[in-house]
């Protein structure tokens, strides 16, 4: 998988270090947030890996709900802050999933998906794009901020959790937050909740397939209901309808 050596985004410059991680410069919003915390502060890190072809409002809302869950004052043990990291599946996985003979169509290349993620989250200082969100959560950030106590949670949709019974793998070193879909009709996971397997508030369902269909139809109103306006503009320009 090819990664750019320097990735310039709205929220600062990100460098890919020798280990393959995208790390923002110290002046970035998320790192400034962490640098202002008191020594010994407990910090949550919520991460999500996905295709995001393209990123939708639901993807972002899942991260917002996961963060809100950890920052809720009613939880046992208060988190001083929580930041989020998003990572993208490789092109080979996405192209196989789309089963298309023209993989570049529909923003399936990782460079395009990276750009759309950055456009979507540019106004959210605590949320960043990472080449490897789990490695950054478990190694990179603790190394940069050794005086903070980090706790990592993987964010998943309920379909994936139920399919792979991920609650069976939850524990002190592998924590999960599951976000359901409103009116999904899926089995309730509430009874499975533990301190290492948390259930967040459900979010509305948005299919990336529906986004691609609205884009091909040049339906700006439908697109902006499903993706950030900056993403909608990019997609329409890509299709030649801006």
Return the pLDDT at 239: 80
Mean pLDDT in residue range 6-12: 34
> Which DSSP string do the residues of 49-91 spell out, in sequence order?
EE--TT--HHHHHHHHHHHHHHH-TTSSS--SEEEEEEEE--H
Cα 204 vs. chain centroid, distance in angstroms?
Answer: 16
pTM of structure: 0.82
Residue-wise pLDDT tens digits, 153-168? 999 998 889 888 999 9
Residue-wise pLDDT tens digits, 116-136? 999 999 999 999 999 898 898
Residue-wise pLDDT tens digits, 205-228? 898 888 988 988 999 999 999 999
Residue with tokens 């902006």: 224
**Average pLDDT of the residues of the chain:** 82
Better pLDDT: 31 or 66: 66
């Amino acid at each position: 998988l090819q990664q750019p050596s320097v990735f310039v985004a709205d929220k600062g410059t990100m460098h890919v270090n020798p280990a393959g991680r995208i790390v923002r410069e110290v002046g970035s919003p998320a790192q400034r947030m962490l640098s202002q915390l008191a020594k010994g502060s407990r910090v949550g890190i919520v991460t999500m890996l996905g295709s995001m072809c393209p990123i939708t409002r639901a993807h972002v809302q899942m991260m917002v709900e996961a963060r809100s869950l950890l920052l809720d004052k009613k939880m046992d043990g208060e988190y001083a802050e929580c930041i989020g990291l998003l990572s993208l599946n490789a092109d080979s996985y996405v192209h196989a999933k789309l089963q298309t003979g023209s993989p570049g169509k529909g923003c399936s290349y990782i460079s395009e998906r990276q750009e759309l993620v950055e456009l979507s989250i540019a106004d959210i200082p605590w949320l960043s794009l990472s080449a490897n969100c789990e490695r950054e959560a478990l190694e990179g950030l603790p190394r940069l901020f050794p005086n903070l106590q980090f706790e990592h949670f993987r964010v998943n949709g309920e379909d994936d959790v139920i399919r792979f019974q991920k609650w069976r793998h939850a524990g002190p070193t592998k924590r999960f937050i599951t976000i359901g879909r409103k009116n999904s009709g899926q089995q309730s996971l509430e009874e499975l909740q533990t301190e290492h397997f948390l259930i967040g508030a459900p979010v509305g369902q948005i299919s990336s397939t529906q986004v691609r269909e609205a884009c091909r139809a040049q339906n700006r109103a439908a697109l902006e209901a499903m993706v950030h306006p900056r993403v909608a503009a990019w997609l329409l320009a890509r299709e030649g309808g801006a």
